[in-house]
């Protein structure tokens, strides 16, 4: 998913949009290399090297990857949308957020 995430970050560079990643890889040093190699420029948190780490436990994540799309009010609006559906979800929420600020 890194290429798609990168394209979202680039496309929405000047928008009120953010990606937060959570990674459960056991080898943190290898993960750091992956972040560089995959050009991950958004915040990516380490989940303690386990799929049952503190972040995934708190968010009740049971499969990887899990995608949550959260609106400007902090409400979970979409879960596990990918590809064009992810783009549409993000664009919809950005449109809603902009309408609120007018």
> Is 39 domain-assigned?
yes
Count of the separate structural domains present in the chain: 1
* Closest to 40 (Cα-Cα) out of 66, 68, 71, 19: 19
Residue 28: per-residue pLDDT:
93
In a domain, 45, yes or no: yes
Confidence of residue 63 (pLDDT cuts 50, 70, 90): confident
- Could you tell me the CATH number of the domain that includes residue 21? 3.40.30.10
Could you give the CA distance from residue 40 to residue 59 in angstroms, rounded to a whole number? 22
Token pair belonging to 95: 């449109």
- Residue 100 domain-assigned (yes or no): no
Does the reported pTM lie above 0.75? yes
Compute, in degrees rounded to 10, the torsion defined by CA atoms 88, 89, 92, 94: -110
Beta-bridge partner residues of 78: 69
State the residue range of the domain holding 48: 2-92
Question: When comparing pLDDT for 55 and 102, which is higher?
Answer: 55
Sorted by sequence, the CB contacts under 8 Å of residue 77 that are 6+ apart come out as: 69, 70, 71, 89, 93
């Amino acid at each position: 998913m890194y290429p798609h995430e990168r394209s979202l970050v680039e496309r929405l560079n000047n928008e009120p949009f953010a990606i937060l990643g959570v990674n459960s890889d056991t080898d943190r040093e290898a993960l750091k290399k992956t972040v560089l190699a995959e050009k991950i420029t958004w915040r990516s948190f380490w989940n303690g090297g386990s799929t049952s780490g503190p972040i995934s436990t708190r968010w009740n994540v049971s499969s990887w990857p899990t995608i949550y799309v959260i609106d400007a009010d902090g409400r979970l609006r979409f879960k596990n949308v990918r590809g064009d559906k992810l783009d549409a979800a993000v664009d919809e929420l950005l449109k809603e957020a902009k309408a609120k600020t007018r």
